[in-house]
Every structure is written in structure tokens, then in C-alpha cells.
């Protein structure tokens, strides 16, 4: 069976080639993103394997189905970028990787917290320039601080366990409380209360119609002045221009982003020779108390191997008429 992997980077090729060594699947790698313009590349491929910034709207799905595609195998947990109603109507099955390494994402969120707090990005540049001064690098002890976890599923729980290890007090917001967090001593509460009490807030909920711009001008006003916000969930969980206003006023003291609402046109590409056209991102990058990574929280060897293994298993089981991890179909 022919499988086309869109948006496949060299690390995807390595992990998928390794995982497919014993299988009969015929894997083809396409570095380009799936869009309406690139969808014809999938003509004749029964399976299209897509990542988070590939476009899977109604028009793209129609073109894929017309070209003979019958399965969309997502290499991600999130599926907010897929028009599921259209997929259903066209008889296109959609499968995903519900869990690969919650630790990878949770640990990256913690890396952002530590780097922002202890200003590692500034210290790194300073010592490389021979400047060994410490002014402006004062941090705070994480021990005893209050950390709000928004979305306490697999990643939120892994994050909470790490922060509990630092001696932090945990607050949580999720429509479905997780007993594991309660056992760690987390207090579940309404989001506005969490925002008022927490010194650090980390977002780990999916992007849905209910969570789009969950963090906006109004909710940012509820924060303790100087609070830290970490978003490794999805870019549109936050209203980015409102973040800029909150950073300018000092209401937001630290910001760590691994995701950005307009990332699809930018992330995973080397654009260092080109003028940055996105003025919102350009402004964010000027703040000394902001660290942005380009959707790399998932990027560990363990996660890549698990994504490849589950995706291939999803395809093989679907082909055998025994599908698993179905989102639609
Ligand atoms: P999960 O399904 O295990 O947990 C999600 C949790 O969010 C659930 O407990 C759910 O009840 C909760 N939730 C749903 N709606 C909510 C709302 N309105 N408010 C608060 N909580 C809500 O998912 P997970 O594996 O923990 O992943 C969480 C998210 O992380 C994914 O949806 C994805 O967007 C993001 N993610 C990012 C990366 C990355 O590389 N940056 C990688 C993987 C996943």
C-alpha cells in the first residue's frame, strides 16, 4: 500500500524508515506542507500521512478523495485541523496517535519555565560575549510557588508530577478532574480563580470551539501582575495581540510559547534569510522575557519512535479492517 507523508522532515524519515523495516508499506516522503496546491501530489496514494500544520479542510479533503486517498493517518494527537464532517461525508477514515510521549511535551514546558525564570537565554548570550555580570538575571525559587495546570489529561498530568517534585502547589482547571492530580494535592477550581491565584500557568488543553482564545485580554487582567504563562498546547488557545499588551504593561511577567496561532506559514522552515512578515510575532520576539520555540515540544527520540510505530500500526490495522485510534470513519 502506498503512503505519502506530507511535511516530513529528515527526523521523520529516519524514525518511519526504522519502524517500517519489516512492513510491506511503501512509504514516500514529501517535505512540503499539504495545502490545496500540493494535494495533487497525493494522487494515487491510498494513505496520506499528515502533521499538525497540514491543511485538511473541505477542499483539500475533496481533492485527496478524488485522487484515490481513503485514509488520513495523522502523526499527531490533536485533530483540530481536520474537517471531520467532510471526511465522514467523503468516506475518508481519519486515525491519529492519541499518545506518544506526554513526557516530551511536559518536560519542554518545564524547560521553558526554568529558562524564563533563570533567564538562561540571556545568560547564554552574555557569557559567550565575555560578559560575566549578573544584573537582570535574578530569578525566583520554584519551591512553594503556585502553578496552575489548564487541561489535566496525559500531558497536564506529566507536567503536574514534575512541578510537584519542585515543591510547587498545584491548581487545576479541567471539566473532567483527574484523580491522579488530586492525589498530588492539586485543587480544582474555576479558570478565573486559577488565573488569580497562580504564579505560573501552563496550558495543556486541546483547541476546541470552547478553548479558542481561552486566554484573552479579560483573562490576562485576572492574572497576578508579573505572572508567567506557558503555552505548549495550540497557538489559538491564546489571543496573541492581547499577550503583547499584557507584556508591555508588565501584567504578564514571562511568556513561553511553543505554539503560535499563525505558525503554519512559518514553523519547521528555515526563514533566517527572509524578512519576517508577521509583525505580531516580530513584536513578541523583541521582549527579553519571552521565549518562543517552533513547535518542538514533541521532538524527542522516544516520541518520534512512538509516533512512527503507532502510525504504521494504525495504517496496517485499518487496511486489515480492524481500525484503531479512529477519529472519523
Ligand atoms: P488529553 O486528551 O490527554 O488531555 C486533554 C485534557 O484537556 C483532558 O483532560 C480534557 O478534559 C481537557 N479539556 C478539554 N476541554 C477543556 C477546557 N475547555 N478547559 C480545560 N481543559 C479541557 O491530551 P494530551 O495528550 O494531554 O494533549 C493536550 C494537548 O497538547 C493536545 O490537544 C495538543 O493540542 C497539545 N500537544 C502539543 C504538542 C507540542 O508539540 N507542542 C504535542 C502534543 C500535544
Which protein residue has the closest C-alpha to ligand 1 atom 12? 151
The answer to whether residues 166 and 269 belong to one domain is yes
The answer to whether residues 208 and 69 belong to one domain is no
Please give the pLDDT value at position 264: 87
Which protein residue has the closest C-alpha to ligand 1 atom 8? 153
Please give the pLDDT value at position 26: 95
**Rounded mean pLDDT of 59-78?**
97
The answer to whether residues 262 and 134 belong to one domain is yes
Between the CA of 77 and the centroid of ligand 1 the distance, in Å, is 9
Q: Which of 79-83, 160-164, 168-172 has the lowest mean pLDDT?
A: 79-83
Between the CA of 151 and the centroid of ligand 1 the distance, in Å, is 6
For residue 305, name the pLDDT band (cuts at 50, 70, 90). Answer: very high
For residue 223, name the pLDDT band (cuts at 50, 70, 90). Answer: very high
Please give the pLDDT value at position 23: 85
The answer to whether residues 51 and 134 belong to one domain is no
Q: Is the minimum distance from the CB of 204 to ligand 1 under 6 angstroms?
A: yes
Is pLDDT above 90 for 54?
A: yes
Q: Is the minimum distance from the CB of 152 to ligand 1 under 6 angstroms?
A: yes
The answer to whether residues 79 and 123 belong to one domain is no
**Rounded mean pLDDT of 31-56?**
97
The answer to whether residues 31 and 126 belong to one domain is no
In a domain, 278, yes or no: yes
In a domain, 326, yes or no: no
The answer to whether residues 26 and 70 belong to one domain is yes
In a domain, 327, yes or no: no
Please give the pLDDT value at position 219: 97
In a domain, 251, yes or no: yes
Please give the pLDDT value at position 16: 97
Q: Is the minimum distance from the CB of 211 to ligand 1 under 6 angstroms?
A: yes
Mean pLDDT (the chain) is 97
The answer to whether residues 88 and 144 belong to one domain is no
Atom in ligand 1 nearest the alpha carbon of residue 232: 41
Q: Is the minimum distance from the CB of 297 to ligand 1 under 6 angstroms?
A: yes
Please give the pLDDT value at position 233: 96
Which position has the higher pLDDT, 99 or 110?
Answer: 110
Q: Based on the structure, what is the number of domains in the chain?
A: 2
Q: Is the minimum distance from the CB of 175 to ligand 1 under 6 angstroms?
A: yes
**Rounded mean pLDDT of 194-211?**
97
Is pLDDT above 90 for 329?
A: no
In a domain, 325, yes or no: no
The answer to whether residues 106 and 126 belong to one domain is yes
Please give the pLDDT value at position 66: 97
Q: Encode the chain in three state secondary structure.
A: CEEEECCCCHHHHHHHHHHCCCCCCEEEECCCCCCCCCHHHHCCCCEEEECCCCCECHHHHHHHHHCCCCEEEECCCCCCCECHHHHHHHCCEEECCCCCCHHHHHHHHHHHHHHHHHCHHHHHHHHHCCCCCCCCCCCCCCCCCEEEEECCCHHHHHHHHHHHHCCCEEEEECCCCCHHHHHCCCEECCHHHHHHHCCEEEECCCCCCCCCCCECHHHHHCCCCCEEEEECCCHHHECHHHHHHHHHHCCEEEEEECCCCCHHHCCCCCCCCCCCCCHHHHHHCCCCCEEECCCCCCCCHHHHHHHHHHHHHHHHHHHCCCCCCEEEC
For position 42, which CATH number holds? 3.40.50.720
Q: Which of 70, 81, 119, 234 is catalytic?
A: 234
The answer to whether residues 145 and 165 belong to one domain is yes
Is there a catalytic annotation at residue 14? no
Is there a catalytic annotation at residue 295? yes
**Rounded mean pLDDT of 133-153?**
98
User: Which residues form the domain of 45?
Assistant: 2-100+300-319
**Rounded mean pLDDT of 303-313?**
97
Please give the pLDDT value at position 228: 98
In a domain, 329, yes or no: no
| pLDDT tens track for 181-196 | 999 999 999 999 999 9
The answer to whether residues 91 and 214 belong to one domain is no
Q: Is the minimum distance from the CB of 295 to ligand 1 under 6 angstroms?
A: yes
The answer to whether residues 132 and 278 belong to one domain is yes
Please give the pLDDT value at position 265: 86
Is there a catalytic annotation at residue 199? no
Q: Is the minimum distance from the CB of 173 to ligand 1 under 6 angstroms?
A: yes
Q: Which of 263, 269, 302, 317 is catalytic?
A: 263
Is pLDDT above 90 for 328?
A: no
In a domain, 195, yes or no: yes
Amino acid at each position: 500500500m502506498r503512503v505519502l507523508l506530507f511535511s516530513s522532515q529528515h527526523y521523520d524519515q529516519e524514525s518511519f524508515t526504522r519502524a517500517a523495516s519489516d512492513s510491506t508499506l511503501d512509504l514516500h516522503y514529501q517535505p512540503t506542507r499539504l495545502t490545496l496546491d500540493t494535494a495533487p501530489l497525493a494522487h494515487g496514494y491510498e494513505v496520506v500521512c499528515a502533521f499538525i500544520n497540514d491543511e485538511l479542510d473541505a477542499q483539500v479533503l475533496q481533492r485527496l478523495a478524488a485522487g484515490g486517498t481513503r485514509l488520513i493517518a495523522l502523526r499527531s494527537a490533536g485533530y483540530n485541523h481536520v474537517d471531520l464532517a467532510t471526511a465522514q461525508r467523503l468516506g475518508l477514515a481519519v486515525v491519529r496517535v492519541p499518545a506518544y510521549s506526554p513526557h516530551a511535551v511536559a518536560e519542554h514546558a518545564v524547560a521553558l519555565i526554568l529558562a524564563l525564570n533563570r533567564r538562561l537565554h540571556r545568560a547564554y548570550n552574555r557569557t559567550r560575549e565575555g560578559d560575566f555580570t549578573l544584573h537582570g538575571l535574578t530569578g525566583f525559587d520554584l519551591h512553594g510557588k503556585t502553578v496552575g495546570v489548564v487541561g489535566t489529561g496525559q500531558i497536564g498530568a506529566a507536567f503536574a508530577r514534575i512541578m510537584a517534585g519542585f515543591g510547587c502547589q498545584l491548581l487545576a482547571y479541567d471539566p473532567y478532574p483527574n484523580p491522579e492530580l488530586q492525589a498530588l494535592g492539586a485543587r480544582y477550581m474555576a479558570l478565573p480563580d486559577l488565573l488569580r491565584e497562580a504564579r505560573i500557568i501552563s496550558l495543556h488543553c486541546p483547541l476546541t470551539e470552547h478553548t479558542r482564545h481561552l486566554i484573552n485580554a479579560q483573562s490576562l487582567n485576572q492574572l497576578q501582575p508579573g505572572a508567567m504563562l506557558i503555552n505548549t498546547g495550540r497557538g489559538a488557545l491564546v489571543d496573541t495581540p492581547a499577550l503583547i499588551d499584557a507584556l508591555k504593561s508588565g501584567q504578564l511577567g514571562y511568556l513561553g510559547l511553543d505554539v503560535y496561532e499563525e505558525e503554519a506559514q512559518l514553523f519547521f522552515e528555515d526563514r533566517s534569510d527572509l524578512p519576517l512578515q508577521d509583525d505580531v510575532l516580530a513584536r513578541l520576539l523583541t521582549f527579553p522575557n519571552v521565549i518562543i520555540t517552533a513547535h518542538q515540544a514533541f521532538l524527542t527520540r522516544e516520541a518520534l519512535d512512538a509516533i512512527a510505530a503507532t502510525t504504521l500500526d494504525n495504517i496496517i490495522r485499518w487496511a486489515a479492517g480492524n481500525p484503531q485510534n479512529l477519529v472519523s470513519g
